[in-house]
């Protein structure tokens, strides 16, 4: 089965399944009100997770996945009716429809290990996404993209032409209706203008266990510091370099025997798995951003 056929089958299977993500001030009656609302529409709750940051004055977070008969024709009615509850509890909320597979773009530079992991899991059906395009400032990934019939755009980039490059990139992203951008070791800094167009929609992999060794050459600096653990961090991109909300992290133990090249080799394995997990949780609508933190259900 091709990915196009798989996505079509997935959409049909999940045409009546949705997820409701909520953030609001903690108070009694939230779960009861939401559950009763869904029950009145004949919905069956498949999965429910909740978290209270501080029962005495903090925020409350909930993720509910539910099935509802004829959901695809009742979306507008359900969303409009839910506004009464959202106003009562002062909710920030989103309905996410599982059959609306997210349109994704992958940005990559010369190193392809993270890209290859994403494509492998996408081909296996572990990452349910519609890859609209791959954009790169290197030609290394072109043949790989073409072998999978994914549109590939080679756009040389450096700090001197950053604005022009991003204008081209944003035109391409608009043409493909992109909802999620994955930076799979894309070694260019994005401008505030670019980031502002995709709030909490750009996932980066940083080859360090943040907040340690922010910026360039983290493995070299980790080696010089003599660390015993190295890691990687997937996070949403903000205008503060490598300081956006963290989605997932991973570590591996190293020793004084390991040189810089050893750290990089070990780190590549961590990077690709950490990025894939962060992307998967975003695709499954398991992440709620709260300031510079995330709640991951």
Strand partners, 44: 67
Q: Which residues contact 32 (CB under 8 A, 6 or more apart)?
A: none
Strand partners for 295: 288
Q: Which of 297, 296, 291 is nearest to 59 (CA)?
A: 291
Please name the residue ranges forming H helices in 69-207: 71-89, 113-124, 142-147, 162-175, 192-196
Measure Cα distances from 270 to 163, 229, 236, 247, 275 in Å.
32, 12, 18, 14, 8
- The question of whether 290 is a catalytic residue gets the answer no
What pairing do the DSSP bridges indicate for beta strands 130-136 and 103-108?
parallel
From the candidates 242, 258, 262, 290, give the one annotated as an active-site residue. 242
Six token digits for residue 193: 């203008």
Torsion over CA: 245, 247, 12, 131 (sign): positive
Residue 251: helix, strand or coil by DSSP? strand
Secondary structure (DSSP) of 73-92: HHHHHHHHHHHHHHHHHT-E
Residues labelled as active-site residues: 242
């Amino acid at each position: 089965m091709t990915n196009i056929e798989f996505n079509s089958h997935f959409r049909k299977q999940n045409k009546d399944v949705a997820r409701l993500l909520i953030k609001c001030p903690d108070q009694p009656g939230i779960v009861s009100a939401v559950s009763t609302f869904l029950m009145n529409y004949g919905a069956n709750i498949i999965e429910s997770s909740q978290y209270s940051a501080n029962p005495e004055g903090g925020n409350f977070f909930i993720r509910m996945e539910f099935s509802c008969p004829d959901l695809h024709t009742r979306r507008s009615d359900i969303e409009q009716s839910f506004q009464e509850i959202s106003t009562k509890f002062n909710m920030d909320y989103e309905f996410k429809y599982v059959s609306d597979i997210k349109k994704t773009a992958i940005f990559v530079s010369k190193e392809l290990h993270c890209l290859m992991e994403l494509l492998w899991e996408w081909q296996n059906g572990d990452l349910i996404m519609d890859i609209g395009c791959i954009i790169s400032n290197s030609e290394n990934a072109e043949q790989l993209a073409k072998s999978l019939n994914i549109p590939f755009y080679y756009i040389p980039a450096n700090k001197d032409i950053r604005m022009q490059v991003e204008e081209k990139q944003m035109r391409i992203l608009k043409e493909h209706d992109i909802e999620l951008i994955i930076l799979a070791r894309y070694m260019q800094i994005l401008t505030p203008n670019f980031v502002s167009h995709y709030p909490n929609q750009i996932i980066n992999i940083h080859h360090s266990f943040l907040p340690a060794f922010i910026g360039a050459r983290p493995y070299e600096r980790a080696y010089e510091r003599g660390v015993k653990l190295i890691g990687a961090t997937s996070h949403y991109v903000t205008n503060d370099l490598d300081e956006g909300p963290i989605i997932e992290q991973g570590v591996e133990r190293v020793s004084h025997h390991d040189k810089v090249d050893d750290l990089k080799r070990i780190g590549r394995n961590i990077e690709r798995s950490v990025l894939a997990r962060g992307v998967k949780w975003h695709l499954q609508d398991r992440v709620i951003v709260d300031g510079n933190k995330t709640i991951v259900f």
